[in-house]
């Protein structure tokens, strides 16, 4: 499932999409690489029709970068993150974005 996302990692902001995601981790295609070992927070919106829900599901994931592939695809870097925790974000709780 390829979902758009935004990543905040120790003062760097990157945009991209998921390439692969599970409850334990995610592989992301981002517009810039991130440092291995750095903390990463990323927001993902899962469309309602994808999971048969009434509305879209918004997740805020907190994790750590475990791999950054130097090979680029269409100007993007591959970044693997372990997800340490995640939370559901309700409408209006997205930090003002």
Q: What is the pLDDT of residues 43-93, one digit of tens each?
A: 988 888 888 889 998 899 999 999 999 666 678 899 999 999 999 887 655
Give me the residue label for tokens 């990323």: 42
Vertex 13 angle, CA 81 and 37, to 5°: 35
Q: Is the pLDDT reported for residue 39 higher than 90?
A: yes
Domains, in order of start, for the chain: 4-88 (2.40.10.220)
pLDDT value at residue 9: 76
SS3 content of the chain, % helix, strand, coil (to 5): 5, 60, 35
Tell me the helices (H) and strands (E) count for the chain, helix number first. Answer: 1, 6
**Length of the chain in residues, anyone?**
97
3-state DSSP call for residue 27? strand
Reduced to 3 states (helix: H, G, I; strand: E, B; else coil), residue 89 is: coil
pLDDT value at position 93? Answer: 56
């Amino acid at each position: 499932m390829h979902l758009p996302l935004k990543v905040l990692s120790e003062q760097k902001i990157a945009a991209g999409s998921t390439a692969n995601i599970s409850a334990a981790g995610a592989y992301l295609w981002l517009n810039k690489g991130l440092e291995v070992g750095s903390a990463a927070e990323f927001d993902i919106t899962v469309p309602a029709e994808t999971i048969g829900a009434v509305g879209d599901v918004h997740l805020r994931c907190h994790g750590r970068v475990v791999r950054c592939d130097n090979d680029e695809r269409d100007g993007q870097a591959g970044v693997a993150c372990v997800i340490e925790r995640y939370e559901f974000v309700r409408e209006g709780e997205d930090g003002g974005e």
